[in-house]
Chain A
Amino acid sequence: MQDKLIVIVNDMCKDNGLPPLKRLDADQHLRDDLNMDSLMLAELTVRVESEFGVDIFEDGLVETMGDVIRKIEGHQGP
């Protein structure tokens, strides 16, 4: 799952002129560390929803990469 997620994030980083990530870290803050603005977060939402079938922003704020991973894992089940 994390392999697919890093491809999505790095695709978006490339489109927005941001440096690619070498790895995903649960503590990475989407806005402060990854420099995602609200439009990039919207794009992340639709890309994650398309890949994993879960709307990560539907039931509350998502601030870190760990939040994203937990939402995907929660949707996929154990």
Chain B
Amino acid sequence: MKWIIVTGESRGVGKAIAREILMEGTYGVIGISRSKGAEVEDLKQLGGEHFVHLTYDLENVEGIKSLYLQQLKRLGVIHGFVNNSAWAYDDIISNLRVDPLEKMFRINVLSPMHLTKYVIRDMLLNKTEGSIVHISSISAHTGYKGLSMYASTKGAIEAFSKNTAREWGARGIRSNCVIPGFMNTAMSASLTDEQKERIYRRNAMKKETAMASVVRTVLFLLSDQSSSITGTGIHVDNGTI
């Protein structure tokens, strides 16, 4: 079985990405999230043996080595990694608190970097010309009040992705980012309708980003159709310009 790791596959964009990969049938999906399993039962029904869920809290950076050696490696060859999990600590900068900021960096930056380390090691070991896709955010490119700290985690990941691409391109390993505009997901649940409308008015198409468009872009970057694309980001944001 050829596997693609999708973090945060229990809901939202991650779940839609996992579902689409399983529907296409080329790859199996290893989902990594805190979910105990009930939320991904439908993916299990859809994928059967092609879907494996691992319950893991990505705040635990130090445990990723054993997650790879004890569980991921034993499942088979990794062909792709979709870094989708994210945790948002939103506030204005003058209210910044270290503990939630550190938690967010562990989940959004440090764990994805550590997972990338082991994904690349797996690709080296198996001579896999794989694809890594990070889900970034429009907030790393356009300023929003209260999102500076969250945006900084996504900026870090974009820089990491670009340099990953440069470092491992010679081995056929690609790394790219998808940069979605605002979607009505659990991540933006705390925003009022008025705030959402104000955000949507900032893009050329004056509406919410379609999740299906984000998902198909991820699938494209995972596939051989994008074999000459690496070290870049694709904005799927209704033209937030």
Which A residues fall within an 8 A CB radius of B? Answer: 39, 42-43, 45-47, 49-50
Which B residues fall within an 8 A CB radius of A? Answer: 120-122, 124-125, 168, 170-171
When the two chains form the complex, which single residue of B121, B122, B125, B171 contacts A39, counting CB atoms closer than 8 Å? B171
Kindly report which residue of chain B lies nearest to residue A44, judged by CB atoms.
B124
Kindly report which residue of chain A lies nearest to residue B118, judged by CB atoms.
A46
Using a Cβ cutoff of 8 Å, how many contacts connect chains A and B? 16
Q: Across the interface, which residues of B come within 8 angstroms of A50, CB to CB?
A: 125
Bound-state CA distance A43–B170 (Å) is 13
- Pick from B121, B170, B171 the residue with the most CB of A within 10 Å: B121
Q: Across the interface, which residues of B come within 8 angstroms of A42, CB to CB?
A: 120-121, 124
Q: List 7 A-B contacts (CB under 8 A).
A: A39-B170, A39-B171, A42-B124, A43-B125, A45-B121, A46-B122, A46-B125
Q: Across the interface, which residues of B come within 8 angstroms of A43, CB to CB?
A: 124-125
Kindly report which residue of chain A lies nearest to residue B127, judged by CB atoms.
A15
Bound-state CA distance A46–B77 (Å) is 14
- Pick from A43, A45, A46 the residue with the most CB of B within 10 Å: A46
Bound-state CA distance A46–B118 (Å) is 10
Bound-state CA distance A43–B122 (Å) is 10
Kindly report which residue of chain A lies nearest to residue B73, judged by CB atoms.
A50
Shortest Cβ distance from residue A55 to the other chain B in the assembled complex, whole angstroms: 9
Bound-state CA distance A42–B122 (Å) is 11
Bound-state CA distance A43–B125 (Å) is 7
Bound-state CA distance A57–B141 (Å) is 37
